[in-house]
Each structure stands twice: as C-alpha cells, then as structure tokens.
Amino acid sequence: MSLSGEKAPQKRYRIAWLPGDGIGIEVLAAARVVLDKLHFTAEYVHGDIGWEFWCKEGDAFPQRTIDLLKSVDAAMFGAITSKPVKAAEAELVPELKGRGLVYRSPIVRMRQLFDLYNCLRPCKAYPGNPLNFKENIDLVVFRENTEDLYSGVEFNQVPPELAEVLARLSKPFAAFKDLPGDQYAISTKINTRKGSERIIREAFEFAKKFGRKKVTVVHKANVVRATDGLFLETAREVAQGYPEIQMDNANIDAMCMWLLKNPFNYDVLVAPNLYGDIISDLCAQMVGGLGFGCSGNIGEKLAVFEPTHGSAPKYSGQQKVNPIATILAAKMMLDWLGETEMGARLETATAAVIKEGKVRTYDMGGANKTLEMAEAIAAKL
C-alpha cells in the first residue's frame, strides 16, 4: 500500500511464451485465460520452439529463443514433439539433407543451457478428482535436471580412443575392445557432488519451509555404485544440517512398488535426473495423470514452467485435453515470482472446479473442451 492508501501498481513482468507443438498451443492459451483474469500484468513475448523449427531450420530451439530467455523474468512452455531422429533420418527431410544433424530435445538443452537444475514436480490429489488413485496424496518430487544420464555425452559410434581407455581401465570392457564401433553404444551417467548437493538441499529447504516431515532419496546405489553412491552419500551429508527432517532412502525399483502400496509413507522425494523422470510420472498418475502433472524447471536466474505431458499430436487442434496441468504450472510460476497471493487464488479456484465436478475434460470422464475448463476456473477467480 502506498502512503495515499492506494495499492501500489503491480510489477509488470516479462514472460517468454513458448507454446511449442501440438496441444502445447492449446494448453498455453488456456493458461492465459486464467492469468489474464487474475490481472497478472505481464508482457508476453512469443518464442519459437519445436518440431516445426527443426524441420525448417535444423534447430528446434533457435538462437533467437535462447536470447529471448536471457531477457525475461520467467517462461511458460507448452510441449514439443521429441522424436529420436538419427542423422540418417534427418537425411530424409529435404531441408536437412546433407547437414549431418541429430535431433536433441530442446527442453533438455534448455535445462542445461540455463542451468535449470531444479525440476520441481508437485503431485497433489485434489478432492473430487475422479482420477485420484487415493485421496489426500500430496507428494513433491525434486528431480535433478541437468546431469546424470541426461548429460548428453553419448556415443553411437564409439571412437577408438575411448574404446582403448575403457579397455585399459575396465576388465569387463576389455572383451569388447575389438568390436567394431557401431556394435555398441555408450551413454554416460555423470553425477557431480555439486549437482547432487544443490538439488538435495532444495528438497530439504522446501521440507523445512513447508513443514514437511520426510525427504526420501531415490537411487540405485546398490548397483550403480559410483554415481548413485555419490548421490546418496551427499544426501546423508546434507541431511545432517536438517535434524528436524527425517531422511529416508530407497532404490528406484522398490520405490515404485512401495509408492503404489502406500503413498502416504512418502512426502518429499529427491532423485537424480532419470529416476526423477520416472518417479514423477508415477506420482503424476496417482493424482490424475497427464492432465494434472505440472513442472517447474528452476535455476538461479530463470525458471521455465510447463505441464509434464508431451505434445500429444493425435489430439492436436481438438480442444480436447485437460489444461489443469498447465494452469497449475502457471500457479507455480506465480509463486516463484513472489506473487504467492495470486498463486494461492489460482490453486483454490482450480481445486473448486475439480471438486464441483461440473466441468470435466475427457480424461476426467467429461466432454468439456480445453478452453471451457480454463473459463470455469477463471470464473471462480
């Protein structure tokens, strides 16, 4: 409040708007309906990203979009069509022929380029959602977002220098040494102490701030000893700084079973990149599936919010899919920007529409359109 008693004008944010492909366009349009109704004051700047730009320019995440992301407070991202395109397949696209290109997922590149190391995925069962696995599930997944098996250091054609080093250093590998380089492939899992420490710390800080009781560290340290061992060891060190919070740990495979058996034994989960990817889909399914999984890719300077789902080309242009995941991602963006009052209002309105059950998209057993869901939520704001 200003001295005159008038409310100070709200900050005008600069938000990168990256709809991407397929239904990404529709769900982002739905999120705009609720942001506008909240009177969130922003300059939305469109950014090109996705399959279309790969086909036209050989780059799904063009430099101009990277530059845009350097100039914004935050970004909303829809979805992109990620296809595992090998160089040979790119040769079949006339515009890309002869350029030796390999498709890399733009979102994975974005996470690395902007060091968006914290992938935050809250999974809450809103009362009345017919898709809830059980009522009252309220899990929060912290996924390391820049390293691990996503490091991008991979070899389809293993170079002889690497084969030689491996043969020298690893007994089992010596047997492969003389295999032609295209008879095996290597994807490296790289986990650093720093990368592990900061995501684990995020999880504990969150638990402390929001009064959560337990942080469960998900790994496979019994087999993947070096990298997951480092992750678990780091977690034990970090946990010492939070005596009020219980630390628990579980192997990823057992975790999947136990989560289904008793989700109420868990609270905050933290995992290296790939296990976090897997476990967050499982948790999202327990609270309604693709229509409800929201995600923040958060770094020190930039954060990009998105629904966890993909671009669902088969539903593209039909106004069919549930926009709630994206609307909850918008709520996460508001919170991250410090607009927590708006964020809370948006969540309350979304929860009210779910509870009422009058407006439901096809996944929830209803026939309402994407925009109708957004308008129903906006009407409660």
| Buried-exposed string 202-211: b where 16+ CB fall within 10 A, e elsewhere | bbbebbeeee
CA distance 34 to 15: 15
Binding of residue 285 to ligand IPM (CB under 6 A): no
Q: Which two tokens stand for residue 74?
A: 């935050």
Select the binding partner of residue 234 from ligand IPM, Mg ion, none (C-beta < 5 to 8 A, by kind): none
Q: Closest distance between ligand IPM and the C-beta of residue 60, in Å?
A: 11
Binding of residue 107 to ligand IPM (CB under 6 A): yes
Q: Closest distance between Mg ion and the C-beta of residue 280, in Å?
A: 7
Q: Closest distance between ligand IPM and the C-beta of residue 87, in Å?
A: 19
How would you class 305 by CB atoms within 10 Å of its CB: exposed for 0-12, middle for 13-18, buried for 19 or more? buried
Q: Give the x-and-dash track for 263-302 against Mg ion (CB under 5 A).
A: --------------x-------------------------
Q: Which two tokens stand for residue 22?
A: 């397929």
Determine the interface stretch with ligand IPM among 101-109, 159-167, 230-238, 358-366 (rule: CB under 6 A): 101-109
Q: Which is nearer to ligand IPM, 293 or 343 (CB)?
A: 293
Query: Which residues, 57 to 76, sit near ligand IPM by CB under 6 A?
Result: none
How would you class 284 by CB atoms within 10 Å of its CB: exposed for 0-12, middle for 13-18, buried for 19 or more? buried
Q: Which is nearer to ligand IPM, 105 or 192 (CB)?
A: 105
Half-sphere exposure of 60 (CA within 13 A, CB side): 23
**CA angle 82-143-287, nearest 5°?**
80
List the one residue from 82, 118, 350, 361 that touches ligand IPM (CB under 6 A).
82
Binding of residue 112 to ligand IPM (CB under 6 A): no
Cα–Cα nearest to 21, from 54, 52, 56: 52
Query: Which residues, 195 to 254, sit near ligand IPM by CB under 6 A?
Result: none
Residue type, 63: Q
List the one residue from 52, 55, 105, 197 that touches ligand IPM (CB under 6 A).
105
Q: Which is nearer to Mg ion, 114 or 150 (CB)?
A: 150
How would you class 257 by CB atoms within 10 Å of its CB: exposed for 0-12, middle for 13-18, buried for 19 or more? exposed
3-state SS of the chain: helix, strand, coil percent to 5? 45, 20, 40
| Bridge partner list, 216 | 248, 269
Determine the interface stretch with ligand IPM among 104-112, 153-161, 197-205, 344-352 (rule: CB under 6 A): 104-112
E runs forming strands in 262-330: 268-271, 294-298, 303-307
Q: Give the x-and-dash track for 125-164 against Mg ion (CB under 5 A).
A: ----------------------------------------
Query: Which residues, 253 to 282, sit near ligand IPM by CB under 6 A?
Result: 277
List the one residue from 81, 132, 146, 308 that touches ligand IPM (CB under 6 A).
308
Q: Are 20 and 304 in contact (CB under 8 A)?
A: no
Binding site residues, Mg ion, CB under 5 A: 277
Binding site residues, ligand IPM, CB under 6 A: 82, 105, 107-108, 277, 308
